[in-house]
Amino acid sequence: MLGLDEEQCEAEIRILAATGVTMDKAALIQKQQAAAERGDNAYAHEVGQILRFLGEDEPPRDRAWATGVVALLEQYHFLMQVRGWLPAILRLPASFQTILSKKGDLDEYVSGLNQQLASLEREWPQCTLRTVDQSARALRGLFRGLTKHQLEFVSLLANEGESLCLWLIEKNDTDQFNKLMQVARGGLDDARLLSAMASLVGIRTLLLKQIYSEEQVPYTGLESFLEHFEAVEVSEVAIADLKNILASFDALIEVFEKQTRSAGVKACYDLVAIKERGSFVFQTSENSERVLLLELASNSEHDARNEPIEYLVDLRNNLMMTEVPTEVEDELGVEALIGSFVLQLRTLTVIKEALCTLHAEGHFGYQTYNRKFRFDMSALPELRRVLTEYRKEVESFRAVVKAQREENYFLNFFTMREIILLWGMLKEQKVADFSSLLWLVSSNLDEGQIILTLPKL
């Protein structure tokens, strides 16, 4: 950490500390704090390492020696950065290949940088903290016009942002880009993606002249590109925005693709999502439109959500009116899935009607009810079996009710909903409420007789 040859440099620091010659700790602490405040954590850590090696007992100070060592440490830190910047900058042509005239070995500037990198890597194992100044001096002129923030920015673009760069270059029409952002934001409630989208707008604005200016593009080569990049005002905020985009770029592209698909093609992708994480849920409800719901489970990219039957019907209609493009069929294989979904939805709708009937007609077993079926290509036979079961249940219940009403005359004073209400009152021993509803049968009902029946329930 403290030199190009770690063991040797650590030994040098220890020897100097042990012989009573050391740097000014106060000055080092000040350097460390300044580095931390500007966000240069790597340099702050390196200074902290030297402070740790000096130990708790401070020997006599030698400010001249301290100044020299700190200067060498800064040179070392610069070389460490160059070792990261150089390979990254050499990867830049891949990210901006469509706006560079010269590429690869045809670009003399790129060839020169490759030689510099090879020389640095060749000398690196033999370098120590005492010889670092000579190596750093030879490389100082490489990026003379670029700030540290600019170098960090282009390094991020080169190392992680090739797809982002190529995508941005394609989006050269600002009006179309703005429309895409407006459409993509519609209905999007993912805070992370909304933040990344805002960062994307900011980064595109920052690079507007660099990648779209007809006066500059195409560039003759990498050197010309970097010279013009010197005019781009890169701040720590811009670097944070770029990191924010890169962390979510694949998810953003997926959102853009979904939001800009035709209704039919979008329906194909929605159906695949149902196959992967969807279930059909039946539940009791006074609102018949809430009896059948689609439940989509959450995953790493999507939150869980429920959709009503109207969503399923609209999806079916879109699918049935869609001629699936060949490329979509090759990717998703949805033709068979569509056929299975249409047949299953038809059966599910009839099941829903049977459950609504059982609930509305007062079947005690279907007043609170919940059942879930995973969407599966092979689920149709099971759904049909369940439908037959519910149809038989409806017929059986109607027969029982008819027989009981014929045998017990006074049941005909009440609907099944009222009978369920009376049953609940008896179970909860609400005798007074129960009596008030029985006035239709008898105006002088003895509450004592009702109380005597309660233990039997």
- The full set of domain ranges for the chain reads 6-139, 148-260, 264-407, 409-456
410 CB-near residues (< 8 Å, 6+ apart): 441
- H-type helices in 326-367, by residue range? 326-332, 335-360
pLDDT of residue 50: 66
Sheet holding 370-374, edge to edge: 305-308, 292-296, 278-283, 370-374
pLDDT of residue 375: 92
**In the chain, what's the furthest Cα-to-Cα distance?**
113
Could you report the per-residue pLDDT of 180-239, keeping only the tens digit for each? Answer: 888 788 767 888 999 999 999 999 999 999 998 877 778 988 989 999 999 999 999 999
pLDDT at 439 > cutoff 60: no
pLDDT of residue 19: 40
pLDDT of residue 11: 47
Q: Identify the band that residue 336 occupies on the pLDDT scale cut at 50, 70 and 90.
A: very high
| Spatial separation of the C-alpha atoms in residues 77 and 63, rounded to whole Å | 21
Give percent of the chain with pLDDT exceeding 70.
78
Q: Measured at the alpha carbon of residue 301, what is the angle toward residues 297 and 303, in degrees to the nearest 5?
A: 40
| Spatial separation of the C-alpha atoms in residues 346 and 184, rounded to whole Å | 33
The 8-class DSSP code of residue 305 comes to E
Q: Identify the band that residue 64 occupies on the pLDDT scale cut at 50, 70 and 90.
A: low
- β-strand partners of 370: 283
Could you report the per-residue pLDDT of 393-431, keeping only the tens digit for each? Answer: 999 999 998 998 888 877 777 788 777 777 777 666 555
Q: Identify the band that residue 436 occupies on the pLDDT scale cut at 50, 70 and 90.
A: low
- H-type helices in 21-107, by residue range? 25-37, 41-54, 63-95
